[in-house]
Amino acid sequence: MSANLISSGTTAREKVNLRTPDVMAAVQEQVESHYRSDIVDKVRREGGVIAVGDTTVRLAKQFGFCYGVERAIDLAYAARKVFKDCRLFIVGEIIHNPEVNHQIASLGIKNLTGKNKQAEISDLQPDDIVIVPAFGTELSMLQQIKERGCQIVDTTCGDVMSVWKRVRKYASESVTSIIHGKAEHEETKATSSRALGDGKGHYLVVLTLADTDYVCNYIRHGGNKQEFLDKFRGAYSPGFDPDVHLRTVGVANQTTMLRGETEEVQRRVRQAIMDRDGAELVERNFRFFDTICGATQERQDALRELLNEKMDLLLVVGGYNSSNTSHLAEMGEEKLPTYFVLNASRLVSREEIKHYDLHEKREVISHFWLPPGPAVVGITAGASCPNNLIEETLIRLFELRGIPRKQLELAA
């Protein structure tokens, strides 16, 4: 909808267009002052490579904010400008980047959920404005907000809504949604709630190929139902029965997963259905639709291309709870030393770097990470990382190599 705002409550309220030219011009100026980078823009224009002294940095061709993230941030800033005299709230984080979320909080927008919660749903009043983030939110949460009579600024990404459309269709056809994703992720929770359809639909969330193989083995041979339910506790719909609800299934996914892994989930589940039911029934009892986000795929493809270059190490910049960013780090780890850093502050010295360990699921310290001689460093970032954080990381890297910002700006 052009207004990007949903009216709710018991009384009809005029919809407000947040995207008027004057509002968006002011928003763009404000957003660019917070997030843009002249250095990164120039390096990109010149082929994505900057070399000063014995240090070369290669940027992936695609990284940083995608359209969906930019739109969500723009709408949050626009809501603050348009509703100057209203209280503004947001359901969780606008995106998975702490610096961006801090900026949103600095606009006086209070969080309704999560560890940084600043207000309760029960605090909401009819004149309040509630922002739904790019991930979307669960239907139950949306209903609670509507019951308070608030207006809702919906910034949900279009790619996420495409997945919702798919799982609702599955539910309407009594097809169980097998969702490849992280059960605790906001997007997957939102998708799972849509997979219930009118209340009779079902879903199961699988994260790994090992999870998928367990499900496939159950599809083929059956098994211990209680063991199955214990294994996937918290990752299936109320009343889910693997003996009943794995008869007809459709695969969907959290949009930020690795495409190759989602395709493998799809292939393995389809094969299990074929082994159980035969080729003549596989099309009836198995469904699949490609729901990987285009921007996520572009960033994965760009990193894959970058990894073909000769490099000493890779820096992946972004929020540690960002799914698409963590997958970029996984890709890098398969090829060369890779450090997943929150921002430039984690590049402590030439000898020490703080980075997120995907396996230990915590920030760790590594030593002697930066080569003493000539070095080629790759840099990429997920769809929730702004260019200013990439610039700061680039500048810090060169500083550690003895090259000051002024020299770097002249080279760029």
- Inform me whether the pLDDT recorded for 79 exceeds 60: yes
Please tell me which residue in 70, 187, 391, 392 is annotated as part of the active site. 187
Q: According to the model, what pLDDT value does residue 91 have?
A: 96
Give the pLDDT mean for 228-246: 98
Q: According to the model, what pLDDT value does residue 15 have?
A: 60
Give the pLDDT mean for 251-266: 93
CB of 388 closer than 8 Å to CB of 102: no
Where among 223, 257, 292 does a domain terminate?
Answer: 292
**Residues 273 and 145 placed together within one structural domain of the fold:** no
Q: Write the burial class of residue 7 (CB in 10 Å: 0-12 exposed, 13-18 middle, 19+ buried).
A: middle
- Inform me whether the pLDDT recorded for 3 exceeds 90: no
Q: According to the model, what pLDDT value does residue 296 have?
A: 86
pLDDT tens readout for residues 290-300? 777 888 889 99
Higher-scoring residue by pLDDT: 301, 19: 301
Domain of residue 83, CATH code = 3.40.50.11270
CB of 77 closer than 8 Å to CB of 4: no
The alpha carbon of 410 is separated from its chain's Cα centroid by a whole number of angstroms, namely 35
- Inform me whether the pLDDT recorded for 62 exceeds 90: yes
- Inform me whether the pLDDT recorded for 241 exceeds 80: yes
**Residues 80 and 177 placed together within one structural domain of the fold:** no
**Residues 210 and 351 placed together within one structural domain of the fold:** no
Local confidence band at 2 (pLDDT 50, 70, 90 cut-offs) = very low
- Inform me whether the pLDDT recorded for 76 exceeds 80: yes
Local confidence band at 85 (pLDDT 50, 70, 90 cut-offs) = very high
Catalytic, 187? Answer yes
Domain of residue 233, CATH code = 3.40.1010.20
**Residues 327 and 223 placed together within one structural domain of the fold:** no
Residue range of the domain that includes 332: 37-65+295-411
Local confidence band at 14 (pLDDT 50, 70, 90 cut-offs) = low
**Residues 131 and 177 placed together within one structural domain of the fold:** no
How far is CA 65 from each of CA 13, 22, 182, 299, rounded to the nearest angstrom?
33, 23, 22, 10
Number of domains the chain is built from: 3
The alpha carbon of 374 is separated from its chain's Cα centroid by a whole number of angstroms, namely 35
Sort residue 149 into left (φ over 0), alpha (ψ -120 to 50) or beta: left
- Inform me whether the pLDDT recorded for 228 exceeds 90: yes
**Residues 281 and 146 placed together within one structural domain of the fold:** no
Q: According to the model, what pLDDT value does residue 4 have?
A: 53
pLDDT tens readout for residues 372-407? 999 999 999 999 999 999 999 999 999 999 999 988
Percent of the chain clearing pLDDT 90 (strictly above): 83
Q: CA angle, 341 as apex, 98 and 207 as ends, to 5°? A: 80
| Strand pairing category for 203-206 and 176-180 | parallel
**Residues 94 and 197 placed together within one structural domain of the fold:** no
**Residues 165 and 133 placed together within one structural domain of the fold:** no
